[in-house]
A and B are shown apart, each in its own frame.
Chain A
Amino acid sequence: MSAILFDRIDEPGLNDIATYERRGGYEALRKALAQPREGLLEELKASGLRGRGGAGFPLGMKASFIPGADIDKYLVCNADESEPGTFKDRELMQKNPHMLIEGMIIAAFTVGANRSFIYIRGEYVLQADVLEQAIAQAKAAGFLGENILDSGFSLDLVLHRGAGAYICGEETGLLDSLEGKRGNPRLKPPFPANQGLFQGPTLINNVETLATIPAIIRMGGSEYAKLGIENSAGTKLVSVSGNVQRPGNYEIELGMSSRDIIFGLAGGPDEGREVKFWFPGGSSSPVLTAADLDITYDFDAMAKAGTMLGSGAIIVVDDSNSVVDVALTLASFYKHESCGKCTPCREGTNWTVKMLQRVQSGEATPMDLDIIASVQEQIIGNCLCVLGDAMAMPVGSLVAKFRPEFESHIEAARERNGLGLTPPPASEEPVLSL
């Protein structure tokens, strides 16, 4: 496989427009601007590219939902990248920012948007600085601004720095945040394609999705679709982290065996350790175990295994870790990040943390595990967005798959505490008792 997104990405100076153009950059833009918009849309559809931000929605189809009417339309690049375990967009933006900018210009031209934004998480200071400079270079070179390359098409691109909130990765939370509000998700429908930013039709896509567009235009959609496997076309950046020897970003062709990614590329766990479980698509995906390592890494295979490809972030947990600790770390994250708008998520994440703390400290009984499981079920599908589900799915799967370990943990902790008769640890926060 020849690399598409990571092709010589460490070449010094690639973030400079001169190097990017010398390597054939912005040629795809010239090619695109010479084509009718319908043709470009067909190329995107033919590529079979599915969104790389988490939901896997086909790019071409999403772009075709944007109305053709001559009204203010927007393109937003989702560079919030806050899903634990995910760090692929960071590498792209830092090292090859012009590939993203070129992809955005082509996408904006395709749907007729004249204003575009990159919403980057505030913590990515280096990446935002690099992008800011790249945007200025693209403007100076005439790829952004009025009448781009004499095509009559104009596009403004603004880099917007966030301020630390996972929920702003959720597309409608992001839009509210970009409008200068708290990042609370909106009720859908209407979907952003109809009513998004400033009430206008908005195409919103992940960094990796948009950065792939120049390659699709260069190769042709149907040629790109030959990469990967059916229903999972193309290459994908996978962020591998946790207990592996060579953590990092790898570009793979979809359909590769998960074992080859975790062991072949990332080196597997340290000598003498074994894979206990792994998250295939960021911390929000239901976990898989060592028995599932031979599943191929693509959208359909993951769905069939009851989990998801998500953002393409594999987190490997080896047998030296306690499943209770991992569940509590996870649940605490979602509790902290829940925006509080929907009750099942706000209360569900809060109580899950409290119950897991009871499990950890030895106050719980096995019945608490049933309650934890039922709380997760009641979160799923009952909120405006899926942040709550994103806790419920992995925590639910951990309790289901490792129940004996939870139980023995409870037993051991109760024994340590003298049958669990010790009072609960005094907490600083007042406890609401009814």
Chain B
Amino acid sequence: MTDVTRFTHGSRIPGWDDSVDPNKAPAGIPDLATTPVPAELREEIQAEMAKYPVFRSALIPALHAAQRVHGWCSPEAIEQVAAVMGITPGEVAAVATFYDMFETKPVGTQTIYVCTNISCSLRGGPKILEAMRAAADGDADFNIRAFECLGACDMAPMASVNGEFVGPLAESDCAQIVADLKGGGEVLAAKQLRVRPCADEAGRVDGGQTTTSEVTQ
């Protein structure tokens, strides 16, 4: 028998004691009148709610907005979304913890997703992840995550840098990305997805008179 690994709190389940406080009443719907919510955030969430026949559909857009304001889905952010939408924080937290893009811990402001899924790992994705971490050198402002396929396997290995897709990356590009972010400029402008031509000849305006490599140059 191997010993069962246990956390300091004695349980095998991480975080089992996070949410239960017997002295605390279960959280109901927070009152919008007494919950401070930044006016812009409130208006943005309310505008999202108006787009749908059933307002609850706006929960994911609302969490995106709250995360932009707070940097992560903090208890405060969850409370504010719940107050504006008129649902319980529990319902909001249940959704926030389901989706990869919602941060459930405080993170840096520079978000880099490095793809380590199949097509990228065939072309060195994990090495890019390592190089990216090394380039950021522990700077807490950098939130570097291994991510699943980002839908850009044609430019593998690739990464999404604050939402901008760049690739194919060489390990040496990682230092450049970190420098670009620190300098506040465009990230690896020549390797962005937005300037990448379609691989298919029919995609070109001249119906395939030039080759892909010529278009890229």
Contact = CB atoms under 8 A, between A and B. Distances in A.
A329 B118 contact: yes
B153 interface: yes
Contact of B54 (A91, A121, A165, A179): A179
4 A-B pairs with the lowest CB-CB distances in the bound complex, closest first: A248-B199, A164-B100, A3-B202, A180-B59
A37 interface: no
A400 interface: no
A123 B113 contact: yes
A27 to B, nearest CB: 20
The CB with the most chain B CB atoms within 10 A, among A72, A82, A123, A329, is that of A123
A432 B12 contact: yes
A6 B200 CA distance: 8
A320 to B, nearest CB: 9
A431 B5 contact: yes
A163 B101 contact: yes
A152 interface: no
B108 interface: no
B148 A125 contact: no
A82 B149 contact: yes
Which label, helix, strand, loop or mixed, suits the secondary structure of the A interface?
loop
Interface in B39-71: 51-54, 56-61, 63-64
16 contacts: A6-B203, A9-B203, A10-B198, A85-B118, A90-B151, A94-B194, A123-B151, A123-B163, A126-B193, A180-B60, A241-B119, A248-B199, A251-B202, A329-B117, A430-B4, A430-B6
Interface of A: 2-3, 6-12, 72, 81-87, 89-91, 94-95, 115, 121-126, 158, 160-166, 177-183, 198, 239-243, 246-251, 265-266, 283, 313, 315, 317, 321, 325-326, 329-330, 333, 336-337, 339, 427, 429-433
A87 B203 contact: no
Contact of B101 (A122, A198, A427): A122
Interface of B: 1-2, 4-7, 12-14, 51-54, 56-61, 63-64, 94-95, 98-102, 113, 116-119, 121-123, 147-156, 160, 163-165, 193-194, 197-200, 202-205, 207, 212, 215
Given A183-B99, A333-B149, 18 more contacts: A3-B202, A8-B204, A11-B205, A82-B149, A84-B118, A85-B118, A86-B153, A125-B163, A180-B58, A242-B119, A249-B199, A315-B122, A315-B153, A317-B122, A325-B121, A330-B118, A429-B5, A432-B4
A163 B121 contact: no
B54 A198 contact: yes
Nearest to B51: A158
Given A81-B151, A242-B119, A433-B4, A161 B64 contact: yes
Contacts of A8: 202-205, 207
Contacts of A165: 98-100
Contact of A162 (B60, B123, B155): B60
A360 to B, nearest CB: 14
Contact of B194 (A85, A126, A250, A432): A126
The CB with the most chain B CB atoms within 10 A, among A83, A84, A317, is that of A84
Nearest to A125: B163
Contacts of B117: 84, 283, 329, 333
B198 A95 contact: yes
B1 A163 contact: no
A81 B148 CA distance: 12
